[in-house]
Structure 1
Amino acid sequence: MMARTHIAFASLMMVACSVGILQRMPQLHEVAIAGAAGLLPDLDHPKSTFGRIVPYISTPLAAIFGHRGFTHSILMVVAMVYLLLTYHHNHNWPVLPLVVGYLSHIIGDMLTPSGVPLLWPVRQKFSLNLFKADGPMEQLIYRLCWVGIGYFLWVAFERPGEIWLQPLQAHLETQLWQLFAHSKVFVVQWVERLAAT
């Protein structure tokens, strides 16, 4: 997956996790953090978004593990969860958004032909091979993710458009009722004329 799709997919996964599992609307900052965390596994690629920001981390990771190696494995997720929970109380880390975002990246890459080494250090890569990176299907997924996130934002901000739409809706209803009343009178007059002939 491309970086922009990882961000959108991670953000949507945070919304889905919060609403579907925790039965609550996620906070906007949680969605943003999850979106950013969706890029973290690519720290093992010096030319990735985060790789360019922190080359002193990315370059050694790439040299030791290569791209889509340790950082794309279940072992890394377990290590990450352990560290976050261990130091959560001291630093108040947003554990859930970071984990959801990170996992979404691995899931996203597993959908592509390249796959991910889930059981690293075993080098076998797991792939569902559903679509090629940056192909038409990924572009569709990217857009659908943002539609879902847009709907979440609309709900989270208490459907702001409804405030603007209510006067228009009331006006349209009034016009429709007037048209209906006028039409009813017209139909009655027309029927009366037909009956008179």
Structure 2
Amino acid sequence: MWKRRRGVATFEWCAAGVPYVAALGVFTTPGGTGARGRLHAPGGGREYTAAGRGRIAAEGETRMMGHSHAVSGALVFAAAAPFLPPLLIGRPLQPGEVLVGALLSAGAALLPDLDHHDGTVANLFGPFTRLLCRTVARLSGGHRHATHSLVFVALAGAGTQLGVARWARGFTGGLTFALLLFAVHALRSHASGRCAHSRATTVGLAAIGTAAADTWLPGTGAWLPYAVVLGTLAHVLGDCLTRQGAPLLWPYGRRFEMVLIKRTGNRFETRFLVPVMTAGTLVLVWLATFAPTALTG
């Protein structure tokens, strides 16, 4: 699918069920599955093979950060699971709740980017989710403004708490489905196939997870606000590690940053940070499931 946005030609295709995007360049030869083409980016050209799983990273921002945010949300939830729930809800989480909670927190970690017209959530269902994100951006002042603040984190948690208290099971199920949808989409854990099939699989997996949580984890509503807060907080603090930072104290305009990721999707992020966070999440979830007292004594 060819797209032109702000004078920049992009081309999207699916390889093994994953949509890949090459941006900030012009294709002189269209490519499809099994075809070859050349991307002329500023400073030179690169060849790609659509049949492979390689990603073209042109000189500019890629879309890896949505995946990174999701993994960071899962990691923060898994790390806090042995300690915070007994203080906040009066009981420890069960192993299944830790696993589902990590996924829900991963989905919640994408909520601040509802203000990004071309982010992970915006590209979930094409023009429908892009319209949603453009609307949020207009209402919040643009990308990395109100939704990237501690005020938004607090409002997201309070709103979830209010929704659970007022609409109970219906609200819990709806939000669980939405967050699982975001998480599966961002973590790219859907099956191979064309883009439309991948979206269908993403929806199916989210529906199965929601039904399982509703059936076997009836206490999800008690800790769902906590998962939302941790996920959104992980995103906001993660953006403080990049250029532009985040306006933590919005509406006060100062941005807070400690730049460790100079360019979204660079090697430090994709080859070190994300693998380390993924391994840490898996270890912590395993400990919570099979050795719940290992961390708390």
TM value normalised by structure 2: 0.49
Alignment equivalent of 2:132, drawn from 46, 57, 77: 57
In the alignment, structure 1 residue 109 sits paired with structure 2 residue 239: yes
Give matches, 1:63-78, under 5 Å: 63-64=138-139, 65-78=141-154
Query: 1:79 Cα shift?
Result: 1.7
1:6 and 2:51 are equivalent in the alignment: no
Question: Helix, strand or coil for the counterpart of 2:72?
Answer: helix
**CA drift at 1:22:** 3.7
- Cα deviation for residue 156 of structure 1 reads 4.8
Q: Distance in 2 between matches of 1:7 and 1:82?
A: 21
Map 1:82-101 onto structure 2 (within 5 A).
82-89=158-165, 90-91=167-168, 92=172, 93=221, 94-101=224-231
Aligned to 1:129: 259
Structure 1 unmatched runs, 5+: 160-197
CA positional deviation for 1:131: 2.5
For residues 123 and 267 of structure 2, what CA distance do their matches in structure 1 show?
A: 27
Aligned residue type for 1:62 = A
Deviates more, 1:133-142 or 1:35-44: 133-142
Preserved contact between residue 73 and residue 230 of structure 2 (Cα < 8 Å)? yes
1:40 aligned residue (111, 134, 148):
111
Aligned length: 159
Map of 1:181 onto structure 2 = none
In structure 2, stretches of 5+ residues that fail to align are 1-63, 87-91, 173-220, 292-297
Aligned-partner Cα distance in 1 for 2:241–2:233: 13
1:150 and 2:282 matched: yes
User: C-alpha root-mean-square deviation of aligned residues, in Å?
Assistant: 2.1
Q: How far off its partner does 1:39 sit?
A: 0.9
**Greater fraction of residues in strand:** 2
Q: Percent identity?
A: 28
Following superposition, the deviation at residue 27 of structure 1 comes to 2.0
Alignment-derived partner of residue 81 in structure 1: 157
- Residue 177 (structure 1) aligns with: none
> TM-score normalised to the size of structure 1?
0.72
Deviation at 1:88, TM superposition (A): 1.7
SS at match of 1:49: coil
Cα shift at 1:33: 0.4
Q: In structure 1, how many angstroms separate the alpha carbons of the residues matched to 2:286 and 2:121?
A: 30
Query: What SS does the corresponding residue of 1:52 show, helix, strand or coil?
Result: coil
Deviations 1:124-150 (A, max 9, x none): 211112232322332311110111122
Measure the CA separation in 1 of the matches of 2:162 and 2:285.
Answer: 32
- When Rg is computed on C-alpha atoms for both structures, the one with the higher figure is 1
Q: Kindly state the Cα deviation for residue 82 of structure 1 after the two structures are TM-superposed.
A: 2.1
Structure number with the higher helix fraction is 1
Deviation, 1:157, is 5.1
